[in-house]
Chain A
């Protein structure tokens, strides 16, 4: 298990996995809170155009993807905030257009091999270079600073946008900031889990964590911990079993969701037992005229709840 740490590429892969495991759920929780869980997926589609542009112009696909993702996320946020009824159609155009455009651009580029595009679609964490790691680290630091430093403001905006406006915080600016942060996160996670599975790492750890939590802060902390855990385990496991790391990470996260969901029901029951003030679990009030003899029977369908 420890011998993989001797390889430079594995060290870089594990560091990249930690960075993604922290950032993706840290942003994703706000999207889930606002019921925009699939926004990361949409940004991932748009990012493909950025990768394609990078191929065509022979520049870094990561920076091109950052640029295009940020623009795409801002457009998505503007469509959302206008509450346009045709908004979902506009988003669909953006998603499919972004994906088709990306594939087209890659095919036009000099190095038009499908294998190079594959590494962005599904991630190729073992090819992360030292330079890549610097870029990913810098972007991740920005994402963490925003999502944790402004967590009260972002929570307020995502919880109740209209109320947040009355508290005087710059709601529109924070919405745009969140969209840009999500876009940056997608490009950070692109190399690790791939554009097609990016959204999973933003959503699944949050969904899994909230099976067991009651507060937003605990959900965020647990989701980040879980994201980091499955990212590390997924990379290490994919090395051992010789499988791609992206799918391994995502399947581990979904397994955690399944386990936590199974644990959630008994845990909720235990919490309820700890609170006797809730009163009896079944009706103990007999309707007038039924007090004689039938009280111990099963409650009639018509008997009301105890006040």
Chain B
């Protein structure tokens, strides 16, 4: 299970379902994400070299790995933003090309500091998450109520009419998560939700995630470290140099790495890997 996958991608990897201990009731439901033997490159440089990634309904999967290991590219290929050169991607059992049920997916991109050139309020930004529901129809009362609920869930309701440009990093991240929650998605995809987020906001995010998981949503998280989300995570997929290096229970932090607030500069792979560093950098 945890042997290093060779550079030439091997599609005959063991089915991760066997290792994850997914509830039997979910066995017949289509996986929320099924990425098989995915290869992709950015600017001619291969970034994914044959990734297998499955997220079943109700499952919380953390994608770990060093900088440049392909975590962000993997989630960006899951949402169709990075085209696959080889391999296949199914969302809720439908191939990406035919997938239309975008309302089932909530996406939290990696937070960027570049705000738009025009001011926008928290409510306006969160309302864009409701587009799959109201489409070309006017924004109705139930859409507005959904926006209120999502803002309340992350504790930003009283800042609804404030401009997003004046928010702190943690508050901005809460807004992006509210935007993803506003359509009550069945699958949440989050790219580094804890990066640069203050402790208060980290707690809010962990609580929000917990209630989403309790509601039955599947979650795919890109993380630099397990941190406060660790108790929620069912399975960890560790990437190394564009390949899956580990797929199974989340690796436990030891020693100083286990201390709260410790900022990891490398992922924990299991003991079979002597080193997880020195990748592409």
A residues near B, CB below 8 A? 29, 32-35, 37, 150, 152-153, 155-156, 158-160, 162-169, 206, 210, 213-217, 219
- Is B128 within 8 A of A216, CB to CB? no
Bound CA–CA A129/B103 (angstroms): 50
Is the pair B128, A214 in contact by a Cβ cutoff of 8 Å?
A: no
Query: Cβ of A216 and Cβ of B131 under 8 Å apart?
Result: no
Q: Chain A's nearest CB lies how many Å from the CB of B67?
A: 20
B131 near A160 with CB under 8 A, answer: no
Q: Which residues of A lie under 8 Å from residue B125 when comparing CB positions?
A: 159
Q: Which residues of B contact A150 (CB under 8 A)?
A: 136
A155 B81 Cβ-Cβ under 8 A: no
Cβ–Cβ < 8 Å partners of A213 in chain B: 119
The verdict on B260 contacting chain A, using a C-beta distance below 8 Å, is no
| Known contacts A152-B139, A214-B162: A169-B117 contact under CB 8 Å | no
Is there contact, CB below 8 Å, between B109 and A156? no
Q: How far is the CA of A29 from the CA of B124 in the complex (A)?
A: 15
When distances are taken between beta carbons in the complex, the residues of chain A under 8 Å from B132 are 167-169
Min CB–CB distance B229 → chain A (angstroms): 21
Contact of A34 among B105, B117, B119 (CB under 8 A): B117
CB distance from A154 to the nearest CB of B (A): 11
* Closest partner residue, chain B, to A213 (CB atom): B119
Query: How many pairs of residues, A versus B, come closer than 8 Å at their CB atoms?
Result: 87
> Which B230-260 residues have a C-beta within 8 angstroms of A?
none
- With contacts A34-B117, A152-B139 taken as known, whether A168 is within 8 angstroms of B128 at the C-beta atoms is no
Query: Which residues of B lie under 8 Å from residue A169 when comparing CB positions?
Result: 131-132, 135
Measured in the bound complex, the distance between the Cα atoms of B112 and A3 in whole Å is: 55
Docked Cα-Cα span, A290 to B117, in Å, equals: 45
8 pairs from A and B in contact (CB 8 Å cutoff): A33-B117, A155-B128, A158-B116, A160-B128, A164-B128, A214-B162, A215-B161, A216-B121
Residue of A nearest to B128 (CB): A156
Q: What separation, in Å, do the CA atoms of A215 and B80 have in the docked complex?
A: 30
- Known pairs A159-B125, A159-B128, A214-B161; A166 contacts B119 (CB<8 A): no
Question: For the complex, is B118 an interface residue (Cβ under 8 Å from A)?
Answer: yes
Chain B 109-138: CB-based contact to A (< 8 A → 1; otherwise 0)? 100000011111101110111011001100
In addition to A33-B117, A156-B128, A163-B129, 14 A-B residue pairs with Cβ atoms within 8 Å of each other are A34-B116, A34-B117, A35-B117, A152-B131, A159-B125, A160-B109, A163-B107, A164-B131, A165-B81, A166-B105, A168-B102, A168-B132, A169-B135, A213-B119
A221 to B102 alpha-carbon distance, docked (Å): 31
Residue of B116, B129, B136, B139 most packed against chain A (CB within 10 A): B116
Bound-complex Cα distance A155 to B117 (A): 12
Contact B128 A219 (CB under 8 A): no
Cβ-closest chain A residue relative to B115? A159
List the 9 closest A-B pairs by CB distance, nearest first: A168-B102, A156-B128, A166-B107, A33-B118, A167-B131, A214-B163, A215-B121, A216-B120, A33-B116
Taking a contact as CB atoms closer than 8 A, the residue among A37, A155, A164 that contacts B124 in the complex is: A155
Does B179 make an interface contact (CB < 8 A)?
yes
Contacts of A215 in B (CB 8 A): 119-121, 123-124, 161, 163
A216 to B124, CA, bound (A): 7
Tell me, in angstroms, the Cα distance from A219 to B124 when the chains sit together. 12
- A29 / chain B contacts, CB cutoff of 8 Å: 118
Q: Least Cβ distance of B106 to chain A in Å?
A: 8
* B161-178 interface (Cβ within 8 A of A): 161-163
Is the C-beta of B79 less than 8 angstroms from some C-beta in chain A?
A: yes
A73–B200 Cα gap in the complex (Å)? Answer: 46
A202–B51 CA distance with the chains assembled, in angstroms: 46
Tell me the nearest residue of chain B to A37, going by C-beta: B117
Q: How far is the CA of A207 from the CA of B143 in the complex (A)?
A: 30
Which residues of chain B come closer than 8 Å to A158, judged between CB atoms? 116
Residues of A within 8 A of B116 (CB): 33-35, 158-159
Q: In the complex the two chains form, what is the Cα distance from A166 to B131 in whole Å?
A: 10
Does the CB pair B79–A166 fall under 8 Å? yes
| C-alpha gap A99/B131 in the complex (Å) | 40
Residue numbers in A under 8 Å from B163 (CB-CB): 214-215
